[in-house]
Amino acid sequence: MSLQAGWPLRPGAALALAAVFALAAAARPAAAAEPEAGTGPAAGAEADQAPLTVALTGKYPPFSFYDENGELAGFDVDVSRAVAGRLGRRLEIVATEWDGILAGLLSGKYDAIIGSMAITPERARQVDFSEPYYVSGAQLFVRRSDRGDLDGIAACAGRPVGVGLGETYEHYLRREHPEVEAVTYKSTVDIFQDMENDRLSGFITDKLVGAWQVKSAGRDFVPAGKLLFEERIGIPVRKDRPELLAGINAALADMQASGERDRLFEKWFGLARRRPTGMSAATVVRLLLRGFGITIGVAVASLAIGFVLAIPLGMVLNRGRGAGCRAVRAFVDFVRGTPVLIQLLFVYFGAPQVGVTLSPIASAVLTLSVSAAAYMSEIVRSGLMSVDHGQELAARALGLSGRQTFRLVVWPQAFRVAMPPLINAVVALTKDTALISVISVGEVVREAQSIISVTFQPIQYYLIVAGMFFVFTFPLMKLAGRVEARMKERGFVHD
């Protein structure tokens, strides 16, 4: 998301925000505003006209997110309600992806975006923005104990400072402050952990979001220095809706004048607020179990498909010569010699290029099945190889057909020999499912990450996830050991 800026959490913060609103209001005094025909702060009678439809992402706490009851909540949601109320219109919120949010506005899918969109010249060419309803910007945060020394970005020369990967802040830092060592992270949670681990001297993020996250995580980080740059957040509407724009501006000015903005600001960013989110134990358990269900589902499906494929592949490999065998050998070597992570990304992003768009789960099952088939075919091959050729001779001598010989004599022996390594492959491939979180499959690792983004307790939850995997794999490993011992007893495997 592009703008994110931070309001200070110091006692003066609310005042500063109020000042911004005052500016906005001054630009267009409430009394002078001419709302859409027949609407206005006092026009309650018009509630039956078309609703005001407003877009936001629902993925940007504390501005918009789904609360514990699955309801949309946040600062932007409250501002939307207040604006709609003042326009005398019913509010309808459309949650949409950030990527297409402007295109949706231009095509008339909704009236306005109240989704923390920064006012930029490029955007202002396509749409009309209201006066800013808040101002944020890039802010350096440091540990409270360091704030004496690190009083601004200049003091961080030669020190590691964390930034989100690919965010504006990273580019800003590299451009404006190359003397600072920029360290990129995928999420704030990781940044917090490395602040804790003393790997970072500070981090840069949106001032408001950062302050909220620091508070949520209960960390002792404070803003240091002034905003590195400022972003003004407005409400865009289509250029052909000047009356709507005027109405929104009037509503914002009225919110300022009535003190409602200050109340909303205090509600979401004020010091008095208790820790804003957090998650109930029941929700955590539900999310983790659902995620683990998907993990096991993907693992079982991939392993089953992989095993079924591995039998004929293993038989072809066991022939040891011929074009088919060389082709299978090349396939197996390639799959085994490349990282599963890359295979996943390749299938997920590559398949649509050739016209096959697979869901994340389908991509995951496809990739992991292929990987399982490659590893298991090798195991099947060595199982088949371990069966004395004489067994086949004896079976044929007894009059068993080729198929019966394989099914009743060769395969049962090969399978028993292959069993312990197969179980180990099952364990390894089950663990590989942790990788599929990268292609947005909501398995247990991803669920844990989303829990962590709210609870800010990475170590605890990663430990729990590790435990869940272990509870599943440990009995399998035990079983492998037991099967192997039994095979030795029966004279299949010799040490």
If binding is defined by CB under 8 A, does position 23 make contact with another protein? Answer: no
Residue whose entry in the numeric block shows the structure tokens 């913060």: 13
If binding is defined by CB under 8 A, does position 485 make contact with another protein? Answer: no
Residues 451, 264: Cα–Cα separation, whole Å: 26
Residues 91, 87: Cα–Cα separation, whole Å: 10
Nearer to another protein, 308 or 398 (CB): 398
Residues 46, 88: Cα–Cα separation, whole Å: 6
Binding segment for another protein (CB under 8 A), chosen from 223-231, 259-267, 344-352, 392-400, is 392-400
| Beta strand residue intervals within 130-243, DSSP E | 134-143, 160-164, 181-185, 202-206, 221-234, 236-237
- Output the DSSP codes for 70-93: S-EESHHHHHHHHHHHHHT--EEE
User: Of the candidates 76, 154, 72, 175, which has an alpha carbon nearest to the alpha carbon of residue 117?
Assistant: 76
The three-class DSSP label of residue 384 is helix
Which residue of 409, 436, 454, 468 would you call a contact of another protein, by CB under 8 A?
A: 409
If binding is defined by CB under 8 A, does position 406 make contact with another protein? Answer: no
Nearer to another protein, 355 or 491 (CB): 491
Burial class (CB in 10 A: 0-12, 13-18, 19+), 243: middle
Which residue of 391, 450, 453, 457 would you call a contact of another protein, by CB under 8 A?
A: 391
If binding is defined by CB under 8 A, does position 385 make contact with another protein? Answer: no
Binding segment for another protein (CB under 8 A), chosen from 46-54, 172-180, 200-208, 405-413, is 405-413
User: With contact defined as beta carbons under 8 Å apart, do 214 and 221 qualify?
Assistant: yes
Nearer to another protein, 386 or 440 (CB): 386
User: Of the candidates 188, 263, 251, which has an alpha carbon nearest to the alpha carbon of residue 42?
Assistant: 251
Nearer to another protein, 419 or 468 (CB): 419
Q: Would you state the structure tokens that stand for residue 110, as one six-digit string? A: 């909704």
- Output the DSSP codes for 313-332: HHHHHHH--SHHHHHHHHHH
> How far apart, in Å, are the Cα atoms of 424 and each of 89, 216, 284, 304, 470?
62, 41, 30, 15, 13
Binding segment for another protein (CB under 8 A), chosen from 30-38, 325-333, 390-398, 456-464, is 390-398
Nearer to another protein, 402 or 475 (CB): 402
CB of 390 to another protein, least distance (A): 4
If binding is defined by CB under 8 A, does position 416 make contact with another protein? Answer: yes
Residues 439, 360: Cα–Cα separation, whole Å: 6
CB of 484 to another protein, least distance (A): 15
Which residue of 49, 277, 404, 453 would you call a contact of another protein, by CB under 8 A?
A: 404
If binding is defined by CB under 8 A, does position 396 make contact with another protein? Answer: yes
| Beta strand residue intervals within 156-298, DSSP E | 160-164, 181-185, 202-206, 221-234, 236-237
Which residue of 71, 240, 491, 495 would you call a contact of another protein, by CB under 8 A?
A: 491
Residues whose CB falls within 8 Å of the CB of residue 311, separated by 6 or more in sequence, listed in order? 377, 380
Which residue of 26, 394, 466, 485 would you call a contact of another protein, by CB under 8 A?
A: 394
Nearer to another protein, 85 or 383 (CB): 383
The three-class DSSP label of residue 469 is helix
If binding is defined by CB under 8 A, does position 418 make contact with another protein? Answer: no
Which residue of 281, 323, 354, 397 would you call a contact of another protein, by CB under 8 A?
A: 397
If binding is defined by CB under 8 A, does position 399 make contact with another protein? Answer: yes
If binding is defined by CB under 8 A, does position 413 make contact with another protein? Answer: yes
Residue whose entry in the numeric block shows the structure tokens 């970005």: 153
Binding segment for another protein (CB under 8 A), chosen from 1-9, 43-51, 297-305, 385-393, is 385-393
Residues 114, 123: Cα–Cα separation, whole Å: 14
CB of 413 to another protein, least distance (A): 5
Nearer to another protein, 140 or 395 (CB): 395
Which residue of 10, 106, 388, 482 would you call a contact of another protein, by CB under 8 A?
A: 388
Nearer to another protein, 259 or 322 (CB): 322
Q: Would you state the structure tokens that stand for residue 244, as one six-digit string? A: 């709507």
Which residue of 125, 175, 274, 490 would you call a contact of another protein, by CB under 8 A?
A: 490
Binding segment for another protein (CB under 8 A), chosen from 143-151, 262-270, 305-313, 391-399, is 391-399
If binding is defined by CB under 8 A, does position 125 make contact with another protein? Answer: no
Residues that bind another protein (CB under 8 A): 388, 390-391, 393-401, 404, 408-409, 412-413, 416, 489-492
